Chains A and B, each alone.
Chain A
Amino acid sequence: MLRYLVILLDADAPSFCHYPDPPKGGDRMDVETLRKAVYFAQTRDLAVDVLCSRPPGKELREELDKINHIYIGQWDLTSDSIWDITVLDTPERLANFKPNRDKNVILRLSLSQMHMLPEMLCRYSNRFLRLNVMFTDSWTMTPERAEEYRSLLESLPSLPEGVQVNIITDRATLERPNHCGAGETHLTVAPNGNFYVCPGFFADDPDHSCGSLDTGPAVPLAQLYQLDHAPLCRQCDAWQCKRCVWMNRLRTREVNTPSRGQCITAHVERNFAVPDNPTSYLDPFEIIGR
């Protein structure tokens, strides 16, 4: 069931997730299309996330102000005050933040940059309420590298009261899976007025949409986005894993099947958060695969 809508206001809005940044120079959504998108969300009681490459102008803001929404955008000096969730592509950017216990931040990192996390948390963990670390290449995780990641998690400093860092704190507090839900609980509407499973699917192939604001959403083989149609994930309790269907498709060709690296990454985090009940494996494929 749809619960929220991602409005991709700019085709070149920087990535806020696992998929790579799109090329610069794409279209911006026009007011009429945005009006339809807002109406779509209003009539289905959807929460709205707005992805931008730059702050919207007056006309677009007036349309968006008709519905509760949050802005997500990449940090820069002039527009950061606009964003409800700021996206960073390097930890050093946190140095630009003032201490702020309300701030939500997304930090996109490659695994080769994970060694920067301990010092970053030592210095800047008072500058946000919640930090989402997105490893953009988590499929490259190997059992050997997993040991390095496990050691790193154990070396992280303790966080101030109430502060969350997804890879450390999420699994310990979750009582059920907290997957991304792209294609199931949320869809993305692009500047062309078409729906996509997520902004990553739009970036990969704008011609492969799943419906439009005029015809309504129609996700082909929608059941494959549901947990009960994911043989590995439905038996997994690494609940903090986002189960990124974009990355699944990238690596295994199937939206319902994660790569080995994704599973290993998630299980290192899971076992760190639940030390009393570690899994005997890092990849559930080892016990489920034929």
Chain B
Amino acid sequence: MDIRETNRSWKGGVAKNITFIVTKDCQLACKYCYLVGKNSKERMSLDTAKAAVDYILADREQFHQESVVFDFIGGEPFLEIDLIDNLCDYIKEQMFLLDHPWFNSYRFSFSTNGINYHEPKVQQFIQKNILHLSIGITIDGTQTKHDLNRVWKGSGRGSYADVVRNIPLWLSQFPSMGTKVTVSSDDLPYIRESVLHLFGLGITEVNINCVFEPVWKEGDDLILERQLVALADDMIDGGLYQHHVCSFFSSDIGRPLDPDRENQNWCGAGMMLSVDAAGNFYPCTRFAAYSLRSKAPIIIGNVRDGIDQDLLRPFLTLDRLTQSPPECRGCEVASGCSWCQGENYDAAPESTIFVRSTAICKMHKARVRANNYYWSRLSRKVTKEELSAMQSTRTTCCDI
């Protein structure tokens, strides 16, 4: 397997991402979930979804990208499998009838908790669309770590057993798909064993990131560093580095960024488009009301009136330095330090997207130290050519 090849998103950079928030309901109540307004009432209707598709497909000037990824999220998207199945049929039909260039270059993408992955309707949908699908199942690692946060709504029971049973089926259908792991303060001590556990389940790519929210306690950075150093030892000594990827280790993180050449915004908010059950458009799902704990939603239009381009301008002109405080501007290990525009907005003292939250700062620095250790050790183990082949420039996206 070519690690670099699997470590890229489909059509990264050239595809338009369009997200349907099909439901705000979920079977789980994960403790770190940023979705503060989940509920069982806001379910997208097929009419609303079709109206969004009609608007998007009709405006080729605005939606000019050569490819498209239709994301379906929730809550838990597969709770709405009937809607999704009908909607995907409609999308395909309309792209064909309109002779839309996306007909030859589209993906349906899902991030699921995996609980009802095995159910007949979900499996029928997968078989029907398998050539245009990417599905990621979120499993956080060992049962201990997973059940620490990913618990059933109401009972509070851990969901590990309900997810892990579907991993073999998922991997048989999507053998190169990675999983996404979110790390919060309480589960830091379980990172090493969790990543190794996921590798043991047959998952070769573990995309993992610390949450952007201000949850970090004194000393958490040292725990993270120790966990990652131990993981680095295991991956190198056990030869796992050859065929497995943990996104915490990336050769391009931890250096200063050039103020001119590397001033672009890291987050893709505004480049993507989200639509919710009410037919409102957002620059990213993180700006919908159910994602925000302290701010009003940023609605940039709706399926009836279209998008107000003025409301997109801040997102599309925002750059790294403009939103960064002085400590970030002069940071010696800035590369790979990511941010979520929605969390920046939510955490800002005023209603603006132009202030970068630095809650993750010490965790990034800890990651950089462990990452340096990983590559330092690896460079003593493999040839220069092998090292170069393993180097990846990708960092994890966001915790959505």
The dominant DSSP class at the B interface is loop
Contact B310 A254 (CB under 8 A): no
Query: Is B350's CB under 8 angstroms from A220's CB?
Result: yes
Contact A253/B311 with A221-B352, A229-B322 known, Cβ cut-off 8 Å? yes
Secondary structure call for the A interface: loop
Given contacts A221-B350, A224-B354, A290-B270, A252 and B311 within 8 Å (CB-CB): yes
A290 in contact with B310 given A254-B354, A257-B317 (CB within 8 Å):
no
Quick check: B350 and A257 within 8 Å, CB to CB?
no
Whether B49 sits at the interface, judged by CB under 8 Å, is: no
Taking a contact as CB atoms under 8 Å apart, the answer to whether B354 and A260 are in contact is no
Within 8 A of A (CB), among B301-335: 309-311, 313-314, 316-319, 322
> Knowing A288-B317, A290-B265, A290-B270 touch, does A252 contact B354 (C-beta < 8 A)?
no
Task: Among B271, B314, B351, B355, find the residue whose CB has the most chain A CB atoms closer than 10 A.
Answer: B314
Q: Does A232 contact B (CB under 8 A)?
A: yes
User: Are A253 and B298 closer than 8 Å at their CB atoms?
Assistant: yes
Question: Which bucket holds chain A's interface residue count?
Answer: 20 to 34
**CB-defined interface of B367-391 with A at 8 Å, one 1/0 digit per residue?**
0000000000000000000000000
Which residue of A is nearest B300, CB measured?
A: A253
User: Which B residues are in CB contact (< 8 Å) with A221?
Assistant: 348-350, 352, 354-355
In chain B, residues 240-256, which have Cβ atoms closer than 8 Å to a Cβ of chain A?
none
Docked complex Cα distance between A221 and B322 (Å): 12
List residues 191-244 of chain A with CB under 8 A from any CB of chain B: 220-221, 224, 229, 231-232
- Asked if B188 lies at the interface with its beta carbon under 8 angstroms from chain A, I say no
Q: Which of B313, B318, B353 contacts A285 (CB 8 A)?
A: B313
Task: Tell me the complex Cα distance, A255–B350, Å.
Answer: 11
Q: Hey, which chain A residues are within 8 Å of B319, CB to CB?
A: 231
A256 touches B354 (CB 8 A): yes
A4 touches B (CB below 8 Å): no
Question: Which chain A residues lie closer than 8 Å to B309 at the CB level?
Answer: 260
A285 and B317 form a contact (CB under 8 A): yes
How many A-B Cβ pairs are below 8 Å? 61
What's the Cα separation between A232 and B354 when bound, in Å? 13
Most buried by A among B270, B318, B354: B354
Closest to B296 in A: A253
Tell me the minimal C-beta distance from B352 to chain A in angstroms: 6
- Asked if B316 and A254 sit within 8 Å, CB to CB, the answer is no
CA distance in complex: A231, B318 (Å): 7
The interface residues of chain B lying within 8 Å CB-to-CB of A145 are none
- A288 to B318 CA separation, bound complex (whole angstroms): 10
Q: Which residues of B contact A (CB under 8 A)?
A: 264-265, 270-271, 298, 309-311, 313-314, 316-319, 322, 348-355
Using CB atoms, name the residue of chain A closest to B354: A224
Most chain A beta carbons < 10 A, residue from B265, B298, B317 = B317
- Contact assessment for A254 and B352 in the assembled complex, using a CB-CB cutoff below 8 Å: yes
The reply to whether A252 and B271 contact each other, CB–CB distance below 8 Å, is: no
Known contacts A221-B349, A290-B271; decide if A257 and B314 are in contact (CB<8 Å).
yes
In the complex, what's the smallest C-beta–C-beta distance from A93 to chain B, in angstroms?
Answer: 32
Residues of A within 8 A of B348 (CB): 221
Asked if A254 and B314 make an inter-chain contact with CB atoms under 8 angstroms apart, the answer reads yes
Smallest beta-carbon distance B213→chain A, Å: 20
Nearest chain B residue, comparing its CB with the CB of A258: B313
In the complex, what distance in Å separates the CA atom of A252 from the CA atom of B353? 11
Known contacts A221-B348, A252-B314; can you find 9 more A-B pairs with CB under 8 A?
A: A231-B318, A232-B317, A251-B310, A254-B352, A254-B354, A260-B310, A288-B317, A289-B317, A290-B317
**Min distance, Cβ B306 to any Cβ of chain A, angstroms:** 14
A128 contacts partner chain B, Cβ-Cβ < 8 Å: no
Q: Knowing A231-B322, A253-B311, A290-B265 touch, does A220 contact B316 (C-beta < 8 A)?
A: no
Name A120-166 residues within 8 Å CB distance of B.
Answer: 139
In the assembled complex, the CB of B296 is this many whole angstroms from the nearest CB of chain A, namely 10
Whether B313 pairs with A257 at a CB distance below 8 angstroms is yes
Q: B271, B311, B313: which has the most chain A beta carbons within 10 Å?
A: B313
B349: nearest chain-A partner, CB-CB: A220
In the docked arrangement, what's the CA distance between A261 and B344, Å? 28
Contact A259:B265 (CB < 8 A) given known A220-B349, A221-B350, A290-B271:
no
Determine the distance from Cα of A49 to Cα of B33 in the docked complex, in whole angstroms. 51
Closest A residue to B348 by beta carbon equals A221
Mind listing 9 A-B residue pairs with CB under 8 Å?
A252-B313, A253-B314, A254-B352, A254-B353, A259-B310, A260-B309, A285-B316, A290-B270, A290-B271
List of A residues within 8 angstroms of B352 by Cβ? 221, 224, 253-255
Does the CB pair A139–B310 fall under 8 Å?
Answer: yes
From B311, B316, B349, contact of A289 by CB (8 A)? B316
Complexed CA–CA distance, A289 and B270 (Å): 11
Question: Which residues from chain A contact B353 at a C-beta distance below 8 Å?
Answer: 254
Provide the residues of chain A in CB contact with B316, threshold 8 Å: 285, 289-290
Q: Which 8 A-B pairs have the closest CB atoms?
A: A231-B317, A259-B310, A254-B314, A289-B316, A257-B314, A290-B316, A251-B310, A220-B350
B residues near A259, Cβ cutoff 8 Å = 310, 313
Per the bound structure, the CA–CA distance linking A254 and B298 in Å amounts to 12
How far apart are the CA atoms of A215 and B226 in the complex, in Å?
Answer: 47
- Cα of A259 to Cα of B316 in the assembled complex, Å: 12
Query: Which residue of chain A lies nearest to B263 when distances are taken between CB atoms in the complex?
Result: A231
The docked-state distance in angstroms from the alpha carbon of A253 to that of B348 is 14
List residues of chain A with CB within 8 A of the CB of B314: 252-254, 256-257
A251 to B314, CA, bound (A): 11
Min CB distance B70 to A, Å, is: 21
How far, in angstroms, from A288 to B265 measured CA to CA in the complex?
Answer: 13
Contact status B313-A229, CB under 8 Å: no
What separation, in Å, do the CA atoms of A288 and B317 have in the docked complex?
7
A273 CA / B314 CA spacing, docked (Å): 28
* Bound Cα distance A139, B311 (Å): 12
Report Cα–Cα, A103/B311, bound state, in Å: 39
Q: B310 touches which one: A224, A252, A255 (CB < 8 A)?
A: A252
> Chain B residue with minimal CB distance to A231?
B317
- Contacts of B349 on A, CB cut-off 8 Å? 220-221
CA–CA, A227 and B93, complex, Å: 49
Complex-state Cα separation, A220 to B351, whole angstroms: 10
Task: A255 to B352: give the CA distance in the assembly, Å.
Answer: 9
Residues on B with C-beta less than 8 A from A255 are 352
Q: Are B313 and A260 in contact (CB under 8 A)?
A: yes
